[in-house]
Every structure is written in structure tokens, then in C-alpha cells.
Structure 1
């Protein structure tokens, strides 16, 4: 992890425009605020282009997408592409239904994301590779490295595949992150909040591979720090400590920086 990326993102206080799912709006906003960014949740068609034009990055998350929201995502995405700001696309549950697959395909026809982030099943579905899924979760196994590389080349974008070991494909290379804690899987929206943290780190001046590695490493270390607190006994007590940890300096998390992550 490069701590300068975290600090630069915080110095920027980036305005992150979210078209995200309704289940996670509050959590994503609070988590991004804790990290040091500035969230805005704007999905109305009449303002999404204007909001994207004043934002520093855009998050598109299809977790609870409706058909009219797909059109708003395309409008916001085009405005973000024109401005040249980063876009994080999260194809939540794309493997679960033909409707979600259709929505993502239409978005990708019109919008060029900076990063596509999802679990192995979601990213595999985008490139017609078979990894078993259940709802919005990936439950099967496959060659995740090949899936990440194939998706990155097909969509000409960086790829993040989350899991026990996160796999990043960016700058034509594979990078791995092993920070994190199992309790992240037991709180709603942990992956969606990661979209926001990634978007904030993408506003810095470093190469995208470093930005993504630092965002994922920091996020995982924050989870580890929260989980080790003496009063954390499960998801309910983990959550507030995790929000606290997202506000910490990198050196406060597990004693500092892990060079091997």
C-alpha cells in the first residue's frame, strides 16, 4: 500500500457521484465520509449529467437497478467520460438474471468505465466464463486470474475481482491483495462501499495499479483493525468500529504498512 495515495485522496476531499443501490446508500455515504471523501447520491435523470460534470469520480452500481435507472447511468457515464473523470462500475448480481445482464451490456455499449469491480462470478459472467453463482454471491471456483485478464482486455479497463484474495488486473499486470476479514461478508454493502473508496483513490495522481492496490489494501486493513477490537463480537459490533477504522491513517492500521500485500 502506498500511504501517499490515501493521504492525497483525503487532501482532495473528492466529490463522488453515486448512482448506487438503495440498500447501501447510507452506509456508502457514511463510509466515504469517514474515509475523507464527499458523497452525493443523485439518480434523477434531469440532473445526473450536471452532477457528473461537477464530480471528481462516478460510481455506477446496479444492485437494485430499475430500467429507467439504467438510462440515467448511461447519461451520467457519458458526462463523466466527456469530463475525463474516473468511473467505477459494479455489476452486482449480473449473473443472476437476464435483466441484469441486459442492463450491464447496454451500459457498457455507451460508457467506458475506468474500473469494473465485482466478485468472480460477476466478472466471469461478463466474459461468458462459467463460475457458479447464487444470487449476488459467487460460490464456485475457477481461474480468477484468467477471468480478470480476459475481462480487462475485452473491455479495455482495469478489473477488480474481490474474494478471499482480491485480484486486480491493471497496467497489463496482475496484482493480489490479501487484507480483509470474514466479517465484511456479513454486513450489507461492504462491496458497494469499496466502490466508493476505490473511486476516491482514483482521483489521485498515481498509476491505476497503485491506486487500486492501495484502496483494497487499506480497506482490508481497516476491516482487520475493526475486527480485533475487544468489544467486537459479530457483525453488529464490527460495523461502527469499521467506520472508525476507515478514518485512520495507514500507519494506525495493524502497525503500519505491509510491503508484501
Structure 2
């Protein structure tokens, strides 16, 4: 399929360009996000002080904004750095972690979307339905929403917000305008390790920092995480669990090649 070839080519471009990915992210997962960015071949920087974020993002190839552990200082920095990135044409990937769980998260997510206008938004089904104005439940930062109609939700949000939408779950959905694809890679064990969603966002930003086609970049980041999860799970022996899986997940991303993506990636048009 043509998009699978583009995803493969996207990894080649990433390895060649080694994009700098600026993160303001979740302090629970910040180290994992930095390491997964390194594992795929990009370079992470985790600057979040308002005194340096504009200067730092000016050198970056892409920007991650993640509201997983919000505070007033980080919110201000996100808005400032997001506007600077938009001004300079740097792709912005937004992860609305737990939107809908509290009023602060919901208000902040809406403010970032309105003021910064992210280029890609990645989230689970509960988060995306809340952004779309659909009544749903969320358990802390975890999704409990029915994943039916994922394509409709993704297409609606993409057209409403004029950006790429990536919904991750049992079946991943990537949408841009009237275009949609479904990614069928992944394993349930990914949900048992903290931060795999945040890491997927970092992978998306890594690809988008090296490729102009942000639809392909989003699909590539999501597919890389899903396929790496499959490979890491397959490698587990009797008696090994999520600790070993977590380490193998990083290894699988580090060892990812265009050939592995083309052979193991499973993607269909919506």
C-alpha cells in the first residue's frame, strides 16, 4: 500500500535528519519520552521554563505539548512556546491527557487548541470524544469510552480543528480532512505500562519533525509504537512481565527499520 511505503520512507528521513523534538510534557513520563525519541533516531529536549522556551523551540524541528501533569507555570509556558512554534512553522503535536477529568484540563486543552492551533492531536477515544463535544466517561487519564465510530469522530474533529487527528486504542485511527486510515498493530499489554500514549506522541513528533506530510508522520509514529509493542510482547519468555516488556519496547523501537515496518505494519483505508 502506498501509505505503508511512505511510512517506511518517513523512517529513513527521520534517521537522516535526526530532528530536535522540544517537549513540554508529563513529568511522570518525561524520561520515557526522551528515551523513546532517542530510540527512534531523533533528539529530545525537555525545556519548560518560560524564560527559555521561545529560544529553545526556535532551534527545534517539532514541538510536543502534553497536559498530563498540569500546573500554572507549565500552562503559561505551553501557550508561549506554542505561539512561537506556530509563528515559525514548526509542527506542534498536542496530547490532551485526561481532558474531561477536571475542569482545569478541559479549559487548558481548549485554550491550547484555540490559541496555538496544533498541527496534530493524539489521544484516546474518551479524550477525543470530549474534544468533539460528545458525552462520555473518563477514568482519571484512562479511556473507558466505546471505540465504535472512531472514524467518524476522527474525521469530524480533523475538519473542525483543521489538523491531523490520531486516536489510539484497540484500533488506531488517523484522519486529516476527508482522508482516514486505520492501523491494526499493537497489543493490550501496552495499556499496562505507564506512558505508552505519551511515548506515541513523542514518536509522532519525531516523524513530523523530519517529514512534511503530517498525516504520514502521525500514522508512522502510531504504527511504530504498535508494532514495537507486538514485537516486545512476542519476545517475552515464561516468568517475564511488564518490566521486561518495557525494556524490550525500547529495544524494538531502537531496532525498527523500514523493512520491519513494511513487513509487520498493518494499515487500511477507512
What interval of TM-score do these two structures reach, taking the shorter chain for normalisation?
over 0.9
Cα gap change, 1:79 to 1:138, in 2 (>3 Å): same
Which residue is 1:213 aligned to?
Answer: 219
8 Å CA contact 1:60–1:73 kept in 2: the answer is yes
Structure 2 gaps, min length 5: none
Which residue is 1:244 aligned to?
Answer: 251
Q: Output the TM-score relative to the length of structure 2.
A: 0.91
8 Å CA contact 1:225–1:254 kept in 2: the answer is no
Of 100, 112, 135, the match for 1:107: 112
Which residue is 2:206 aligned to?
Answer: 200
Q: Distance in 2 between matches of 1:56 and 1:70?
A: 21
Between the two proteins, the alignment pairs up a number of residues equal to 261
Which residue is 2:168 aligned to?
Answer: 162
- Structure 1's consecutive aligned runs of 4 or more residues displaced over 4 angstroms after TM superposition are none
Indicate yes or no: 2:108 matched with 1:90: no
Structure 1 gaps, min length 5: none
Larger displacement relative to structure 2 (80-89 or 247-256): 247-256
Q: Distance in 2 between matches of 1:165 and 1:121?
A: 14
Q: Distance in 2 between matches of 1:254 and 1:167?
A: 17
Q: Distance in 2 between matches of 1:230 and 1:252?
A: 22
Deviations 1:41-81 (A, max 9, x none): 01101011111111110000000010221111010001100
The alignment's C-alpha RMSD in Å is 1.7
Indicate yes or no: 2:149 matched with 1:143: yes
Q: How does 1:61-80 map to 2 (within 5 A)?
A: 61-80=66-85
Q: Output the TM-score relative to the length of structure 1.
A: 0.94
8 Å CA contact 2:159–2:176 kept in 1: the answer is no
Q: Distance in 2 between matches of 1:11 and 1:131?
A: 42
